[in-house]
Chains A and B, each alone.
Chain A
Amino acid sequence: MSEHKQLYTVSIYTENNIGLLNRISAIFQRRHLNLDSINISTSEIENVSKWTIVLQLSEERMKKVIGQIEKQIEVIKAYYHTEEETIYQESCLFKLRSNLLFDEREIQNIIKESNANIVTVNREFFVIEKSGRKQEIELLHRELSVFGIMQFTRSGRIAVTKDEMKISKMLEAFQP
């Protein structure tokens, strides 16, 4: 097992219970691990939440952390994957001054070429949304920042795995 740190996407299937966020985050906090991003949403299964956490870690430590996560009563299953094993996206919003649309012709090209969508336009500002990989979003951010960005926000990563996750089967097996 290598000590080499790499970026992992952790997927956790859990019950949707109050307090679990505290319990999971304590596992990382205790080991002085900083998260790149965290996203919690509903999953493909009713009443089951899916967490997507991104962080840098050696594989050896990653395995131990997964063990600690799975140990929590309300965690159904936890996995970790490398970049190659997942399909992932992030999303972001840019708020920009509306006059740029008329004064800076290049902006329209940037939006078109980056496959971003205009969400809303009014007299003062317009908002564009872009989904994609982190690098694409960072590129767009660089391109737009020369014009001045009023507000910017980026979501955590969401990911699905190329391999099957057998959560439903696992839950069926729990039935008495």
Chain B
Amino acid sequence: MKDTQTLHKEQKVTATTMRITGSEAIIRCLLAEGVDLLYGYPGGAIMPVYDELFKFRDQIHHVLARHEQGATHAAQGYARISGKVGVAIATSGPGATNLITGIADAQIDSTPLVCITGQVASHLLGSDAFQETDIIGISTPVTKWNHQITKASQIPEMIAKAFYIAKSGRPGPVLIDITKDAQFEEFDFSYEKCKGVRSYNPVPKIDIDDVKAAALLINSAKKPFIVWGQGVILSKAENELMAIIEKAGIPAAWTILGASAVPTAHPLNVGMVGMHGNYAPNVLTNDCDLLIAIGMRFDDRVTGNLETYAKQAKIIHFEIDPAEVDKNVKTDVAVLGDAKESLSKLLPLLKTNTHTEWHQKFKDLYAIEYEKVIKDDLYPTKEGLTMGEVLKEINLHTQGNAAIVSDVGQHQMIACRYAEFTTTKSNITSGGLGTMGFALPAAIGAKMSAPERDVVAIIGDGGFQMNIQELGTIFQQKVPVKIVVLNNEFLGMVRQWQQLFFDKRYASTEMTNPNFVAIAKGYYIEAQKVTKRADLKNAVAKMMAFEGPYFLEVAVEKEDNVFPMIPSGASVSDVRLE
């Protein structure tokens, strides 16, 4: 069946058309989309494609993960640092279902992915055949789009459509399931990139009146406050955002996925919002008279209790996805469209301003946070090592140029709070889904995508063991990532909640851990463990100077807590410092 919904011209069998198999067509489609690196794991129903990957190995590098989940996170890491579509490939049944966590993570964090799964032959569909699973049904709620191909002739159009949908508008994951008979079938191949899908409008047209209305509010605000998210990074609007902040003199804070879009040291960068964000931006959310949200979605970890969130302020929302407008927070002015374009139109309409007094409030509250939290995190006087001082030591070496890939939990919050950034697309973490096990494979993808950059994975002892098998991938591919495990022998964030909200009943959060250094060495990865403050400096220096992959375990204080903290369901201004 010819797909009538994809908007490109009728394809004709021309001299350039080749008669090839579906599986070869898949590789040629990937090459046409500029893919030279993909992550995956072979198996029965995808074997014809792997056979072609072998033949095309000079043009396309397949990285064998050690688990399909690792393949998706690696593809995510690749996508997040490069801005390109990450590709993961797996067989049917368990291979396909193992992709789901990574796909769900990519969906909620708007990461462009194309996942290709093999499927049993079309005549076996629905017969409970060996390794048959309804991956279209399973992946539907967590994909931006998915499609099952049962005829080789559908491959070029559907793969073109997959890449177009994954990367356009608000990006997301797409899954293409291809039956084995379609992989074997021969057909006349030609490829044309997808230019549009008639039922899909990826980028809403900007209404200039909305931009003008936003400018009017900003120009008359006394206490304006910007909160930006990953939308700024996805639309490459970092410079436009910075120009606006500087021209209008607006203090600006970031969501976890927005980190690194503006350098940490920028004087108007006032830190992170949300549950473990900085004190000033959280408290002053409920003091500003205008909240300007840019490319963020008012996640509950950002807003706390919506009933008491910025009720005193007017709200402007710059957003590409119409479904996000008024979803959680009612806006006064919504500017739909691509952030880069909207902000470019906004900039000339803004008056130059400084808001010195208002900005001073942020500095004053920072001083309180520094005294109560930051000082002890970064310059501890107690015996046990803190996660914060490890980050501080890493900062000294990276000078803000490294990509920091964090997992999920206490170490993640510490990494996002204290890692210094000078370069955009440098904070790679699982924000929306909170997927433990994300960082190790994501660091592989990040490093392979940007080999010239330092990539440091910051992982807890819990999350490290959720995809620990990817040490095998690092070893086999010789990926020179730096792996730092901050080991407190606890599932630290859950333990912190148990301490604060469940009367210290530490149900199943204490971990008896193996010898991680021996495990890393078992994969022939250089490794060392630090237990004393005196050894930290040299250990970090050795790791950063080492040419290949390196594993550093730091035994940190067992029962440290992450502050500031907005307790679940509390107001942002009720953020606790202790």
User: Do they bind each other?
Assistant: yes
| Complex Cα gap A68–B324 (Å) | 9
| Complex Cα gap A19–B177 (Å) | 12
Q: Pick the most buried of B136, B137, B144, B200: most chain A CB atoms within 10 A of its CB.
A: B200
A14 at interface, CB cutoff 8 A:
yes
B147 at interface, CB cutoff 8 A:
yes
Is there contact, CB below 8 Å, between A67 and B199? Answer: no
Interface residues of B in 305-336 (CB under 8 A from A): 321-323, 325-327
The smallest C-beta distance from B162 to any residue of chain A, in angstroms, reads 11
Residues of A within 8 A of B326 (CB): 63-64
Is there contact, CB below 8 Å, between B5 and A30? Answer: no
| Complex Cα gap A75–B144 (Å) | 12
Is there contact, CB below 8 Å, between A67 and B140? Answer: no
Is there contact, CB below 8 Å, between A73 and B199? Answer: yes
Residue of A nearest to B143 (CB): A23
A174 at interface, CB cutoff 8 A:
yes
Q: Contacting A70 at CB < 8 Å: which of B5, B140, B196, B322?
A: B322
Known: A19-B148, A23-B140, A176-B7. A71 touches B323 (CB 8 A): yes
Interface residues of B in 172-226 (CB under 8 A from A): 195-201
The smallest C-beta distance from B164 to any residue of chain A, in angstroms, reads 10
Residues of A within 8 A of B136 (CB): 19, 22
Interface residues of B in 8-56 (CB under 8 A from A): 8
A175 at interface, CB cutoff 8 A:
yes
Q: Contacting B7 at CB < 8 Å: which of A15, A18, A174?
A: A174
Residues of A within 8 A of B322 (CB): 67, 70-71
A74 at interface, CB cutoff 8 A:
yes
Residues of B within 8 A of A68 (CB): 323
Is there contact, CB below 8 Å, between B323 and A73? Answer: no
Residues of A within 8 A of B141 (CB): 23, 26, 30
Residue of B nearest to A19 (CB): B136
Interface residues of A in 41-84 (CB under 8 A from B): 47, 63-64, 67-68, 70-71, 73-76
Residues of B within 8 A of A73 (CB): 144-145, 165, 197, 199-200
B381 at interface, CB cutoff 8 A:
no
Residues of B within 8 A of A75 (CB): 199
| Complex Cα gap A73–B5 (Å) | 11
Known: A19-B146, A19-B148, A175-B7. A74 touches B199 (CB 8 A): yes
The A/B interface has a contact count, at CB < 8 Å, of: 59
Q: Contacting B198 at CB < 8 Å: which of A17, A19, A171?
A: A171
| Complex Cα gap A73–B196 (Å) | 11
B515 at interface, CB cutoff 8 A:
no
| Complex Cα gap A63–B4 (Å) | 30
Residue of A nearest to B147 (CB): A19
Is there contact, CB below 8 Å, between B146 and A174? Answer: no
Residue of B nearest to A13 (CB): B199
Is there contact, CB below 8 Å, between B327 and A64? Answer: yes
| Complex Cα gap A21–B323 (Å) | 20
The smallest C-beta distance from A53 to any residue of chain B, in angstroms, reads 17
Is there contact, CB below 8 Å, between B4 and A47? Answer: yes
Known: A63-B326, A73-B165. A19 touches B196 (CB 8 A): no
| Complex Cα gap A74–B4 (Å) | 12
Residues of B within 8 A of A19 (CB): 136-137, 140, 146-148
Is there contact, CB below 8 Å, between A71 and B196? Answer: no
Residue of B nearest to A174 (CB): B198
| Complex Cα gap A64–B196 (Å) | 25
| Complex Cα gap A174–B11 (Å) | 19
Residues of A within 8 A of B195 (CB): 176
Interface residues of A in 156-176 (CB under 8 A from B): 171, 174-176
Residues of B within 8 A of A71 (CB): 321-323
The smallest C-beta distance from A101 to any residue of chain B, in angstroms, reads 45
The smallest C-beta distance from A75 to any residue of chain B, in angstroms, reads 6
Interface residues of B in 384-441 (CB under 8 A from A): none
| Complex Cα gap A151–B253 (Å) | 64
Residue of B nearest to A48 (CB): B199
Is there contact, CB below 8 Å, between B140 and A14? Answer: no
Residue of A nearest to B170 (CB): A71
Is there contact, CB below 8 Å, between B140 and A26? Answer: yes
Is there contact, CB below 8 Å, between B323 and A74? Answer: no
| Complex Cα gap A64–B328 (Å) | 10
The smallest C-beta distance from B151 to any residue of chain A, in angstroms, reads 13
Residue of A nearest to B199 (CB): A76
Interface residues of A in 23-37 (CB under 8 A from B): 23, 26, 30
Residues of B within 8 A of A18 (CB): 148
Is there contact, CB below 8 Å, between B196 and A14? Answer: no
Q: Contacting B196 at CB < 8 Å: which of A67, A74, A174?
A: A174
Is there contact, CB below 8 Å, between B323 and A67? Answer: yes
Residues of B within 8 A of A15 (CB): 5, 199
Interface residues of B in 146-161 (CB under 8 A from A): 146-148
Residues of B within 8 A of A70 (CB): 322-323
The smallest C-beta distance from A19 to any residue of chain B, in angstroms, reads 6
Is there contact, CB below 8 Å, between A176 and B196? Answer: yes
| Complex Cα gap A174–B201 (Å) | 8
Residue of B nearest to A77 (CB): B199
| Complex Cα gap A138–B165 (Å) | 46
| Complex Cα gap A144–B140 (Å) | 44
| Complex Cα gap A11–B455 (Å) | 49
Residues of B within 8 A of A30 (CB): 141
| Complex Cα gap A67–B7 (Å) | 24
| Complex Cα gap A70–B137 (Å) | 20
The smallest C-beta distance from B100 to any residue of chain A, in angstroms, reads 14
Residues of A within 8 A of B197 (CB): 73
Is there contact, CB below 8 Å, between B5 and A22? Answer: no
Q: Contacting A64 at CB < 8 Å: which of B165, B321, B323?
A: B323
Interface residues of A in 73-125 (CB under 8 A from B): 73-76
Residues of A within 8 A of B140 (CB): 19, 22-23, 26
Residues of B within 8 A of A64 (CB): 323, 326-327
Residues of A within 8 A of B321 (CB): 71
Residues of B within 8 A of A17 (CB): 5
A-B contact pairs, 17 of them (CB 8 A): A15-B5, A17-B5, A22-B140, A26-B140, A30-B141, A64-B326, A67-B323, A68-B323, A71-B322, A73-B144, A73-B145, A74-B199, A76-B198, A76-B199, A171-B198, A174-B199, A176-B196
Binding site for A on B (CB under 8 A): 4-5, 7-8, 136-137, 140-141, 144-148, 165, 195-201, 321-323, 325-327
Besides A19-B148, A23-B140, A67-B327, 7 more A-B contacts (Cβ < 8 Å) are A14-B199, A22-B137, A22-B140, A73-B145, A74-B200, A175-B198, A176-B196
The 5 A-B pairs at the shortest CB distance, nearest first, are namely A67-B323, A174-B198, A73-B145, A76-B199, A26-B141
